[in-house]
Amino acid sequence: MSSIAQLLDGKALAQKMQTELATQVQSLTPQYGRPPGLAVLMVGDNPASAAYVRNKEKACAAVGIASFGKHFPNEATQAEVADMIAQLNADDRVDGILVQLPLPDHLDSVALLNQIHPDKDADGLHPMNLGRLVRTEPGLRSCTPYGVMRLLEAYNLDPAGKTAVVVGRSILVGKPIALMLLDANATVTIAHSRTPNLAEVTRSADILVAAVGRPNLITADMVKPGAIVVDVGINRITDETTGKSRLVGDVDFNAVQSVAEYLTPVPGGVGAMTVTMLLHNTVWSYQQRFQK
């Protein structure tokens, strides 16, 4: 019995959520006397980062969030960026601050991220917010894993009682998604590049999350038939014959779609949710500040 997996359409869900956020912002702005504000800081001219920042600013405008972007030249110093973060922490118009990664090598990104006020940490990466996640306390959640959870919820895929395997242990995705799945009553295993018999571990998963950043790492024989497969990887590969580049995930999509029951596409799956959760976090912070 072979059927094609149902796609978890992150793009459609992201559009629906952004429409809902726009309605919410429209009704709150007159009450609070100003719109929510998001500041995106970028250093240097990495083309991928520049595209992400443009995308975020466009999404902000669509929802009614004010953008306070700041673009530094590549040679900006640690002190200059830190000073800007301090100004934004104190700026009452700003509810969310995001430092676009990666930063140039001479900057200490961890130190800069830690300077963002935890209540304005739109990316949910401050140690205080990660601590709140560990303790299952309310707080800002890391956007990509949070987007994965919202996507599962939208398709009524409840992790409770299921075996979940997360491949990848980054602080951006792997660790927080494992905690979120645990919080949703799944039994969670974290695997990674040094896990012996990786295929054996992944085949036990009712929910398999791939977040390694390695193209087509997860093949059909690594997936339990009928599993929910969430592909967080976004890898740009270039076709050697045509020279054209395209985006692929960590999952071998064509092969896995005949084994899994649900599968996220790349692009159009988790990536689309990440920016939406950033907007959601900004609006959440905005509401928290006015409800205190």
Q: Is 141 annotated as a binding residue?
A: no
Catalytic residue among 9, 18, 56, 231: 56
Is 150 known to sit in a ligand binding site? Answer: no
* Neighbour tally for 138: CB within 10 Å: 9
Cβ atoms of residues 228 and 248 within 8 Å = no
Q: Give the separation between CA 142 and CA 127, rounded to whole angstroms.
A: 11
Q: Is 31 labeled as catalytic in the residue annotation? A: no
Catalytic residue among 9, 121, 123, 206: 123
Task: Identify whether 292 is a catalytic site residue.
Answer: no
Residue pair 159/207 in contact (Cβ under 8 Å)? The answer is yes
φ, ψ at 114 (rounded to 5°): -70, -15
Known binding residue 237? Answer is: no
Close Cβ partners of 216 (under 8 Å, ≥ 6 residues apart): 248, 249, 250, 251, 252
| Nearest residue to 25 via CA among 273, 284, 277 | 284
Assigned token pair, 182: 């645990």
On whether the CB atoms of residues 173 and 211 are closer than 8 A, the answer is yes
Tell me which residue has tokens 């409770």.
160
Known binding residue 169? Answer is: yes
Instruction: Answer yes or no: 115 catalytic.
Output: no
- Separation between Cα atoms, residue 210 and residue 147, nearest integer Å: 14
In a 3-state reduction of DSSP, which class is residue 163?
Answer: strand
Q: Which of 9, 18, 95, 100 is catalytic?
A: 100
Distance CA 25, CA 27 (A): 5
CA–CA distance, 158 with 56 (Å, rounded to integer)? 29
End-to-end CA distance of the chain: 56
Q: Which residue has the tokens 């900057």?
A: 107
Per-residue DSSP letter, 277:
H
Q: Which residues are catalytic?
A: 56, 100, 123
Binding residue ranges for NADP(+): 168-170, 234
Binding residue ranges: 168-170, 234
